[in-house]
Amino acid sequence: MITMTKRNIKLYFRDKTNMFFSMLSVLIMVAVFAMFLGAGNWGGEGIRDSWLMAGVMAMATLTTSLGAFSRMIEDKEDKVAKGFYASPIKRSHITISYIVSPFVVSVIMTTITGIAFGAYILATGGEMPGIAGILQLIGLIILSSITATPLVCFVVSLLKTVSAFGTISTIIGTLAGFLMGIYMPIGNAPGAVQVVMMLFPPSHAATLFRQILMERPMELALYGAPIEIAQEINETLGVVFTIGDFEITPMLSIIYMVVFALLFFGLSAMQMRKAGK
Amino acid, res. 192: A
Confidence of residue 257 (pLDDT cuts 50, 70, 90): very high
| pLDDT over threshold 80, residue 214 | yes
Number of Cβ within 10 Å of residue 256's Cβ equals 17
Q: How far is CA 219 from the centre of its chain?
A: 26
pLDDT digits 0-9 by tens, 169-187: 888 888 888 899 888 888 8
Nearest to 147 by CA among 1, 231, 66, 264: 264
Average the pLDDT over each of 45-49, 105-109, 142-146 and give the range with the smallest value. 45-49
For residues 111-126, average pLDDT: 89
CA–CA distances in Å: residue 42 to residues 48, 56, 88, 231, 245: 6, 17, 58, 14, 24
Write out the H or E segment, with its range, that includes residue 177: helix 162-179
| pLDDT over threshold 60, residue 190 | yes
pLDDT digits 0-9 by tens, 35-90: 665 555 555 667 888 998 999 999 999 999 999 998 888 877 776 666 666 666 67
Task: Please state, for a pLDDT cut of 70, what percent of the chain lies above it.
Answer: 90
| pLDDT over threshold 60, residue 11 | yes
Task: Please state, for a pLDDT cut of 90, what percent of the chain lies above it.
Answer: 35
User: Please, are residues 240 and 211 in contact by the beta-carbon 8 Å criterion?
Assistant: yes
User: Please, are residues 253 and 261 in contact by the beta-carbon 8 Å criterion?
Assistant: no
Q: Note the pLDDT of residue 221.
A: 78
User: Please, are residues 65 and 106 in contact by the beta-carbon 8 Å criterion?
Assistant: yes
Confidence of residue 264 (pLDDT cuts 50, 70, 90): very high
Q: Strand locations in 94-156, DSSP E?
A: none
Q: Note the pLDDT of residue 276.
A: 56
Confidence of residue 233 (pLDDT cuts 50, 70, 90): confident
Distance CA 209, CA 113 (A): 13
Distance CA 106, CA 9 (A): 10
| pLDDT over threshold 70, residue 19 | yes
Assessment of whether the complete model's pTM goes beyond 0.85:
yes
Q: Note the pLDDT of residue 57.
A: 93
pLDDT digits 0-9 by tens, 147-157: 999 999 999 98
Q: Note the pLDDT of residue 230.
A: 82
As separate numbers, helices (DSSP H) first and strands (DSSP E) second, the chain gives 14, 2
Give helix 70-77 / helix 131-157 axis angle, nearest 10°. 20
Nearest to 107 by CA among 67, 65, 71: 65
Q: Note the pLDDT of residue 174.
A: 84
| pLDDT over threshold 80, residue 127 | yes
Confidence of residue 141 (pLDDT cuts 50, 70, 90): very high
* 3-class SS of residue 81: helix
* 3-class SS of residue 110: helix
- Give the contacts of 133 (CB within 8 A, at least 6 positions apart): 212, 213, 215
Mean pLDDT of the chain: 85
Cα-Cα-Cα-Cα torsion 277, 272, 173, 111, nearest 10 degrees, comes to -130
